[in-house]
Amino acid sequence: MSTIQAGGLPRQDLMQEQPALQKHREIMQGLKQHHAAIASLLQGRRFHYIDIPVHDNIGDLLIMLGTVRFFKEHGLSPATVSNTYYFKHQWVRPGDVLVFHGGGNFGDIYGSIHDLREKLIAAFPDNRILLMPQTVFFSSAEARARSAAVISRHPDLHLFVRDTVSQRYAHEFTDKVYLVPDMAHHLYPIRYSGGAAQGYVRIQRVDPEKPKTPESLRQLPIRTTTDWVDVIGDERRLMTLFAKLEWRFDRYGWDRALTRLALWFWVPVSRRFMGKAVRLFADHETIVTDRLHGHILSCLMDKKNIVIDNSYGKNSTYMNQWTANSPLTTLVKE
């Protein structure tokens, strides 16, 4: 991992470029090998993939698409795929495994999501629970303790986390804790084509995790500034269409169709949204981002990227664990 210089990114001459790319590719290929424990917990078991992201955060969609790719690579096929709101308790049989989507919402920043997760975990004490790679963050030790009091009652809960800080907190919830990288890494490599890439693109958060821009980056010649919602643009209407289909299938009791709707409709739409982000990144030489998956998508595309830490250190803890040794990556702090 490089460090920022006053004039911007350190430049590499042509003799250094190929070895740097080769080292980056070796790191990326290696990250996909860390999820063997997930496969072993699911092999031969009927399971449900719950809490899929139906929104305009391309980062979460990358996680979902990487998870779907992981299932396919390991010959795994979920019995049902749904978001939390439409998941039916009657779908679960004795011996089934409940697999919760990974990401950065294990905590109280996005409280309603975590509350629903707690209720489902409590509702199935006799079924194995598997929480895909997460970042654990609560606003206070008291809030974390309240959640742990609920979740730690489950006797067979497996919590996968993406960094060592989360790993330390995770032991308050279960003794079955695994340190692994994000599921989006199963999308590597993302191939793309286009003309000559030029300039910098800034992917900039506008949510509660938004940080300040470090002074050292204020002079960078940013060509494009945007965020995931703007990248998706008018095609966000497809989210509304999917939500209407879910409602209709639920209203008329079409449970069998509801269990497959996400794979039939939402996963292809998510690939379409991802494609828009890939085209944007392909058009620029360097990505500047405070979004973890702005960094991860850059790495999936073998793109140079400058990463600003988010409000509570999620980006730096992740990078220090998994991607810090890539010559294509620069981490910047205030």
pLDDT of 7 over the 50 cut = no
Whole-model pTM: value is 0.92
* Domain residue spans of the chain: 14-30+191-332, 33-186
pLDDT of 3 over the 70 cut = no
- Which range, of 4-18, 133-147, 305-319, averages the lowest pLDDT? 4-18
Identify the residue with better confidence: 215 or 102.
102
pLDDT of 12 over the 60 cut = no
Identify the residue with better confidence: 24 or 208.
24
pLDDT of 195 over the 80 cut = no
Q: Contact 148/136 with Cβ under 8 angstroms?
A: no
pLDDT at 266: 97
At 153-187, the pLDDT tens digits run 999 999 999 999 999 999 999 999 999 999 999 99
Phi-psi region of 288 (alpha: psi -120 to 50; beta: other; left: phi over 0): beta
Q: Contact 327/2 with Cβ under 8 angstroms?
A: yes
In this structure, which amino acid lies at residue 13?
Answer: D
pLDDT of 4 over the 90 cut = no
DSSP designation for 33: G
CA distance 128 to 43: 13
pLDDT band with cut points at 50, 70 and 90 for residue 111 = low
Average pLDDT, integer, range 215-240: 92
pLDDT band with cut points at 50, 70 and 90 for residue 188 = very high
In this structure, which amino acid lies at residue 327?
Answer: P
Average pLDDT, integer, range 237-266: 95
Average pLDDT of the chain, as a whole number: 92
Joined tokens for residue 327: 């010559």
| Residue 191 CB neighbour total at 10 angstroms | 8
pLDDT of 29 over the 90 cut = yes
CATH C-level class of 33-186? alpha beta
pLDDT of 88 over the 90 cut = yes
